[in-house]
Amino acid sequence: MARRSREEILKEVERIQEIREKVVAGEEVKRPNCGQTLMFFQKDSGRHPEIFCPNDDLEVLIEYDRLSKED
């Protein structure tokens, strides 16, 4: 298995951050490879906040701990 270069990994992280910002802002973001609209579990949804593809090919957990204190 080929290791990804540091540049490729940083690019991927950047791409995910962009997707995350759009989805959290309420924008409709479609996955280019499967055409599905990404879904979003809010902080108060009773689940771990995350962005995911209904096709099960993307899942990004969102950590709020650094932004807000939890009781």
Residue from 22, 36, 43, 50 binding Zn ion (CB under 5 A):
36
Q: Is 16 in the site for Zn ion (CB under 5 A)?
A: no
Among candidate residues 23, 58, 57, the one with its CA nearest the CA of residue 40:
23
Q: Is 53 in the site for Zn ion (CB under 5 A)?
A: yes
Going by their DSSP bridges, the two strands 39-41 and 59-61 should be labelled as: unpaired
Residue from 19, 22, 24, 31 binding Zn ion (CB under 5 A):
31
Which residue, 43 or 62, has its beta carbon nearer to Zn ion? 62
Q: Report the C-alpha gap between 48 and 59 in whole angstroms.
A: 11
Site size with Zn ion, rule: CB under 5 A: 6
Residue from 13, 39, 57, 64 binding Zn ion (CB under 5 A):
57
Half-sphere exposure of 7 (CA within 13 A, CB side): 0
